[in-house]
Amino acid sequence: MLLARRNILAIGAALALGSVTGFATGASAKPEIGKPAPDFSAVDTKGKTVALSALRGKTVVLEWTNADCPYVRKHYGAGNMQKLQGEAAAEGVVWLSLISSAPGEQGHVSPAEADQLTASRHAEPASVLLDEKGKIGRAYDARTTPHMFVINGDGTLVYMGGIDDKPTTSQTDIQGATNYVRLALDAVKSGKPVATPVSRPYGCSVKYSPQDERS
DSSP string over 117-135 = HHHHTT---SEEEE-TT-H
Closest CA to 140 of 157, 162, 165: 157
Across the beta sheet with 157-161, the strand order is 127-130, 94-99, 60-64, 147-151, 157-161
What confidence score (pLDDT) does residue 211 get?
Answer: 74
Q: How far apart are the first and last CA of the chain?
A: 40
pLDDT confidence of 29, banded at 50, 70, 90?
A: low
- Counting residues of the chain whose pLDDT is more than 90, the rounded percentage is 83
Q: What pLDDT does 18 receive?
A: 31
Q: What is the number of other CB atoms lying within 10 angstroms of the CB of residue 94?
A: 19
Residues 129/44, Cβ–Cβ less than 8 Å: yes
pLDDT exceeds cutoff 50 at 14? no
- Side chain identity at residue 80, one-letter code: N
Residues 67-79: tens digit of each pLDDT: 999 999 999 999 9
Summary mean pLDDT of the chain:
88
pLDDT band at 139 (very low <50, low <70, confident <90, very high): very high
The answer to whether residue 59 scores a pLDDT higher than 60 is yes
pLDDT: which is higher, 191 or 21: 191
Enumerate the H helices of 30-106 as residue ranges. Answer: 70-77, 80-90
Per-residue pLDDT at 192 exceeds 50:
yes
Confidence of residue 4 (pLDDT cuts 50, 70, 90): very low
Q: Alpha-carbon distance 125 to 40, whole Å?
A: 17
pLDDT exceeds 50 at position 81 = yes
Contact in structure between 107 and 76 (CB atoms under 8 Å): no
- Residue 210: the pLDDT is 84
User: What DSSP element (H or E) covers 180?
Assistant: helix 180-190
**To the nearest whole percent, how much of the chain has pLDDT over 70?**
85
Q: CA-CA distance, 97 to 45, in Å (whole number)?
A: 11
Is pLDDT of 16 > 60? no
> Does residue 214 register a pLDDT over 80?
no
Overall residue count recorded for the chain in this entry: 215
pTM of the full structure: 0.85
**Looking at residue 206, what DSSP letter applies?**
P
Nearest one of 108, 88, 112, 84 to 98, comparing CA atoms? 108
Query: Residue 10 pLDDT > 90, yes or no?
Result: no
Confidence class of residue 21 from pLDDT cuts 50, 70 and 90?
very low
Residue 105 has pLDDT above 80, yes or no: yes
C-alpha span between 208 and 38 (Å, rounded)? 19
Spatial distance between the Cα atoms of 174 and 187, rounded to a whole number of angstroms: 21
